[in-house]
Amino acid sequence: MVARIITVCSLLFLFAAPVAAQEEGEVHGGGEFSLPGWFKVSFLDLPADLAEAREEDRGLILFWEQEGCPYCEALIETNFHQRDIVDYTRANFDVVALNLRGDRPVTTLDGEQLGEKALAEDMEVQFTPTLLFLDDEGEPILRLNGYYPPEEFRVALEYVGEGAWREEDFAAYMAEHGPGEAAEPGFVDQPFLAEPPHDLSGAEGPLAILFEQRRCPECRRVHDEILDDPRARERLEPFHVVRLDRWGDETVTTPEGEQRSAREWADELEVTYTPTMVLFDGQREVIRMESHFRGFHVRSMLDYVATGAWEEEPRFQRYIDQRSQRLRERGEDVDLWEEK
C-alpha cells in the first residue's frame, strides 16, 4: 500500500518589537489514507494497462489522488471499505492510481511520455479524487469530479459496468436509479436566488447557476450546511445566482444569448449530478461544483471566480494552496473537512 499522509506544523512568525509574535493558523481535516492493495500494480504504461483490462473483460479506471486530500480519504475509507462496492469494482474494473502532483513518467494512451502533473493538466483534472472510466478504445465513458457518497457511487459503477452508458446519459440514469426518492420533495428557498425570467446574457457580474431537482438529499445538505453559512453568503454577493430544475421546462436565456429550457441547457453543459453549481465569468465557464463538497472548497471556488484569480492562476489546486497559506498567515485555522 502507498501511504498518503499530510503533516501540518504550526509556525511562529516574529515581528519587530513591540509587535507581538502571531501564531500561524493550522490546517485541520487533511486526508490520511492508504491506497487499497487490490488497486492494479501498474508500470504507468496506460496502453498496456488498457490492453490487460480488455483481455480480462474489465474496464479501466484512472484514479487521480493527492496527499492530504480529505475527499480521497472519504472515498477510500468509506466507499472502498464497503464489501459490495469493493467486490463489484474488483470484478468489473482495473483501477490505476495517479498522483495529481506527482512526477512519475506515464506512457499516455497516445503513446507519449508525460509526467503525472503534466498528464493531469492535459486531462483537465482540477479536483481529487477524479475518476475517469475508459472504454475498450481508451475513450472516456464517465468522469467523476470529486467525492460521490456510496449510494451515488454504486450507481456510477453500475452505469459503466452494466453497459447502460451505451443507451442513456449518466444524468438520466442517476435520476432513475439514485437515492433521490428518499429526500423530502421541493426546493429550498434562499434570499440570494434571482427571480425568473432568467436572461443571463445581460446579467452583471459573475454567474452562479445551481442545477438541482425536487427530490435531492444532497441539494438540501448543500443549502443547510454550506450556503446558509454567513461566510458563503458574503462570497455569493458579487454573483448573479440562479437556481434551475435540472429536468425543468423553464426557459433560460444563456450567457451566449440563446434560449434553452433548463433541461436542454443542463444537457448541453453535461450536468450529470445534482446539485451542480456552474460558475461563469461572462460567457466563460470557469469551474463547477459537482459531487460532495464541503464549505472551505465551495467558498474557495466562489473567491476564485469573483476575484478574477482564475485568470492569473489556471490551476484551482494551486489557488487552494495559496488561499490556505494566506489565511494561516493571518492566524486563521483552515479546516478542509468542516461540516459547513
CATH (residue range 33-178):
3.40.30.10
127 versus 183: the higher-pLDDT residue is: 127
Decide: 275 and 241 in contact? Cβ < 8 Å: no
Average pLDDT over residues 143-154: 93
pLDDT (0 to 100) of residue 18: 43
Q: Which three cell numbers stand for residue 83?
A: 464489501
107 versus 34: the higher-pLDDT residue is: 107
**In this model, does residue 279 exceed pLDDT 70?**
yes
Read off the pLDDT of residues 240-254 as tens digits, 9 standing for 90 and up: 999 999 989 999 999
Please state the CATH superfamily assignment of the domain spanning residues 198-335 in this structure. Answer: Glutaredoxin (3.40.30.10)
N- to C-terminal Cα separation, the chain: 32
Per-chain mean pLDDT for the chain: 87
Q: Which string of DSSP letters, residue by residue, matches 48-106?
A: HHHHHHHHTT-EEEEEEE-TB-HHHHHHHHTGGGSHHHHHHHHHHEEEEEEETT---EE
pLDDT (0 to 100) of residue 31: 65
pLDDT (0 to 100) of residue 26: 55
pLDDT (0 to 100) of residue 291: 81
pLDDT (0 to 100) of residue 339: 55
Enter the pTM of the model.
0.73
Average pLDDT over residues 99-123: 95
Flag the least confident range among 11-15, 56-60, 76-80, 256-260: 11-15
| Domain locations in the chain as residue ranges | 33-178, 198-335
**In this model, does residue 2 exceed pLDDT 80?**
no
pLDDT (0 to 100) of residue 10: 31
Asked if domains 33-178 and 198-335 share a fold, the reply is yes
Flag the least confident range among 6-10, 117-121, 259-263: 6-10
Read off the pLDDT of residues 283-302 as tens digits, 9 standing for 90 and up: 999 999 988 888 889 999 99
Read off the pLDDT of residues 197-249 as tens digits, 9 standing for 90 and up: 999 997 888 999 999 988 788 898 899 999 999 999 999 999 999 999 998 99
Peptide bond into 149 cis (omega under 30): no
pLDDT (0 to 100) of residue 52: 96
DSSP state of 125: -
CA 221 to the chain's CA centroid: 16
Instruction: Give the pLDDT band (50/70/90) at residue 27.
Output: very low
**In this model, does residue 121 exceed pLDDT 90?**
yes
Average pLDDT over residues 316-329: 84
For strands 276-281 and 284-290, give the pairing: antiparallel
pLDDT (0 to 100) of residue 84: 93
